Copies of this chain bind each other. A is one copy, B any other.
């Protein structure tokens, strides 16, 4: 049982965790903290939080659990503001989509070492909408959460964060920071770049009005993720630049190769690419449970 949870960034991710812990009767009091009064007032009205403050340092002062769910570019600033303000029993975790940048922000702000009470984490759950108004208590039900503890991390802190996520229905796994960022570059960041890139490419074509008119259902599903928050994706690109840019340029080269295969009318090569993809897609993806989450 968490006595006092501080949520820094009460948006889709932070708001949904607060709602889920309340629904599971796993939290006493929830204190919200954020940038704009407007969003915090809405969170209070919606019953997502019990109270709010505008200073992260004040928010964490009496907390036993802290969840940081601001955009990746704002995490270092939150670290700087909570520095020296945490009670001894407090554990801090975050929901950032990239872990390497969070860990290096922590090293920078806290003087070389990652504090033992910080458990970097990432719920593989989300939608293409933002803000506390889009948050809902079931977001994490049957979803995976990845924790990426570093050598300095206290195993007791990891256990408390794991227990929190399990109480809202998630399956928790641990992996290294580098591995997390590689895997997510492939499964989430690259697909989002393709969706953004495709929509952008089509929007720039002559007669793009007509082009979108003839887009079929498959296209709509494919590009739904292109309505995700531009700021969030800018931050993800900057934070996971190395893994993502590598994959993206490899993918670009492969599309150029596929273009050549089509141009040279190599029917057998085309068939085997499509068969391999279909088999892989069916083997892996159809084994997962249905879901609608992005990121």
Contact = CB atoms under 8 A, between A and B. Distances in A.
Number of copies: 2
A245 B218 contact: no
A33 interface: no
A243 to B, nearest CB: 10
Nearest to A196: B277
Contacts of A198: 190-191, 194, 251
Give chain A's interface residue range (CB within 8 Å of chain B).
35 or more
A218 B255 contact: no
A295 B201 CA distance: 19
A265 interface: yes
A41 interface: no
A37 interface: no
A214 B253 contact: no
Contact of A201 (B192, B234, B254, B282): B254
Contacts of A275: 230
The 9 A-B residue pairs whose C-beta atoms are closest, nearest first, are A212-B284, A252-B255, A230-B274, A203-B280, A217-B291, A252-B256, A249-B259, A217-B293, A218-B294
Interface of A: 124-126, 128, 144, 146, 183-184, 186-188, 190-203, 205, 207-228, 230-231, 233-234, 237-238, 241-242, 244-256, 258-260, 262-263, 265, 267, 270-271, 273-278, 280-282, 284-285, 288, 290-295
